[in-house]
Structure 1
């Protein structure tokens, strides 16, 4: 296996996955709203429509991108009614080499706004909400080779808030918005431990096995229990920027897109195509601008890093 994005350059951005939404793969940047693939060096873009989806999970294993669960964000243009599908169990994979979408085995439980992450060649999902908007504690694991889902032990705690997942120190961690405790999958997936790390709330990215959080316009390195945070340079320009994607690539943290919300001097919402890069491995980390996205701009619904 080789990471397709080993270094970040202004003229050559690694692949990443977001949904407008995006994702980065090799020399290609993927964006989903309508799903598009942009050849960063080649300067051309191709589209393949799937459907309007939101609140989904995204992960990549074995050189493929997986879009999991979630529901439709379609609004009837005549009545203004929202689609009734809030959560589903559908799973789709995208093969970037053959440019093909394929429907995979559905999850055991339909869910939206849940924790989703790849670990050891498999995909783990946990928590979230049902189609009736009820919080759930069920967890399951997907084997892409067998195309099968198996149940995992339920989370110890379910909360009425969206949750997210990440792999920290080779273990799946589940975080709920507004909750200081973290649930960790231990003993090879046999049980969930609950720890109060009091991690900061905000967009997160993993770089070199370290966890970084963007909070109050500052990047902070987060540790486990009883360790102080380490601050990385602040960026006041991010204070009014919301809905962006954030991911770790090589030694850097990358921020993509987002919008500038309305404020005292600005009554409009401005969608952004900006790409900002911070090399956290340097002695004096400083933010720099990367090449902006071309047709993709605005809010990012998810990010994943593909390796092939």
Structure 2
């Protein structure tokens, strides 16, 4: 199936996309280099695990002029075969999609798209892997449209915390971060508004462990305004509490859960590196409210997402410099469980 693209973004720096060099990346230990994304470099996409496979949905990639293009592409990685294939594309091109896997289907609940400035879309869709087909859902409630939210799933409910309504690429561009929190029940199709985040966040990590929705790190109105805060929403009482902060404040991170531990990878907004990228990997033990610093990423990047299957975390794509710098890198992280 051919790639579908639309909506160029000339505000991003030119890039050609990069493939990891194992001699430079130093794979080993908990890390393994996997087959690169078949469709080429991808960034600001969604990632989710469904039926033992890894789905990469939407995002941006470089076009022939070196600008960034928002795409409808959906690609599927098969861990058992270390291969890729295309799936049915999104009906609407999106970057920063709010993506979740639940009940054997994928749900996209809003995102960003546009030209010189990325604006919120409330468009929502559900994907049936058996039919390889997307079906349109009613849009997000008016006034709540956004992308780049923290996402978590419990039972038949998807939770969205924070996000952003506008992202204007380039220095000084508007970044409209929000503190909205909502839930969407995939069975009833009903949206519910929950207590707002203690602070607005976008490009933030999200995960549900037990009865708690965790919102990890992120940023507030700009790449350099990174945060180390961690908040937890009790999904029974709907009360927020502050948890142990991240060792390294960063936004644009990828997070995934293995057991009771949330792993946070990479990020953007590093003042001590010319690329602006973090290579940090840090693990949060939710039962002990404690963070542990781990060995760094072989290929540091931001603007990606992660998912876990059977104790292995998969991290396809992302950017190796601040702003738009998509890569086709795909790697796996296997925690050394204690």
TM-score computed with the length of structure 2 as normaliser: 0.65
SS at match of 2:81: coil
Cα separation, partners in 2 of 1:203 and 1:301, compared to 1, 3 Å? same
Q: 1:234 to 1:40 in 2, by over 3 A?
A: same
Matches within 5 A, 1:62-73: 62-73=51-62
Distance 1:145 1:42 in 2: 33
Counterpart CA distance in 2 for 1:128 and 1:288 is 32
Query: Which deviates the most, 94-103 or 37-46?
Result: 37-46
Q: Match of 1:234, SS?
A: coil
| Structure 1 residues 93 and 134: CA distance shift in structure 2, 3 A | same
The alpha-carbon deviation at position 301 of structure 1 amounts to 1.5
- CA drift of 1:46 comes to 4.4
Quick one: structure 1 residues 209 and 115, their matched pair in 2 at CA, closer, same or farther if it must change by over 3 Å?
A: same
Deviation at 1:115, TM superposition (A): 1.0
Residue matched to 1:206: 208
Question: Which residue among 46, 51, 60 is the counterpart of 1:57?
Answer: 46
5 Å-filtered alignment, 1:109-258, equals 109-132=92-115, 133-158=118-143, 161-164=146-149, 165-168=151-154, 170-175=156-161, 176-177=163-164, 178-186=177-185, 188-190=187-189, 192-200=190-198, 201=201, 202-215=204-217, 216-224=227-235, 227-235=238-246, 237-239=247-249, 241-258=250-267
* Contact kept in structure 2, 1:168 and 1:210, CA below 8 Å: no
How far, CA to CA, are the matches of 2:179 and 2:278 in structure 1? 31
Corresponding position of 1:17: none
Matched residues in 2 for 1:171 and 1:226: separation?
16
Aligned equivalents of 1:160, 1:227: Cα separation in 2: 22
Counterpart in the other structure of 1:45? 33
Unaligned runs of 5+ in 1: 1-31
Question: For residues 203-235 of structure 1, what are the alpha-carbon distances to aligned partners after superposition, in whole Å with 9 as ceiling and x for unaligned?
Answer: 322223421123542323212596443333234
Q: Which of 1 and 2 has greater Rg? A: 1
Pair 1:179–1:194, CA change in 2 (3 A): farther
Structure 1 residues 286 and 160, CA gap change in structure 2 (3 angstroms)? closer
Tell me by how many angstroms 1:118 deviates.
0.3
Select 1:288's aligned residue among 285, 292, 300: 292
- Count of aligned pairs: 262
Aligned-residue Cα RMSD (Å) equals 3.3
**Cα-to-partner distance string for 1:3-33 (whole Å, 9 max, x where unaligned):** xxxxxxxxxxxxxxxxxxxxxxxxxxxxx96
Which deviations, in whole Å up to 9, do the C-alpha atoms of 1:157-195 show, x marking residues without a partner?
2557424343245302344333333343237143x3241
Distance 2:257 2:287 in 1: 12
1:54 Cα offset (Å): 2.1
| Residue 74 of structure 1, CA deviation | 5.2
- List alignment gaps of at least 5 residues for structure 2: 1-16, 165-176, 218-226, 312-338
C-alpha distance in 2 between matches for 1:161 and 1:33: 29
Task: Give, in whole Å, the separation in 2 of the partners of 1:248 and 1:219.
Answer: 15
- Aligned pair in 2 of structure 1 residues 267, 125: CA closer, same or farther (>3 Å)? closer
For the 8 Å contact 2:27–2:33, the answer to whether it is kept is yes
Out of 297, 302, 305, the residue aligned to residue 299 of structure 1 is: 302
User: How far did 1:64 drift?
Assistant: 0.5
Find the aligned partners of 1:307 and 1:171 in 2 and give their Cα distance. Answer: 22
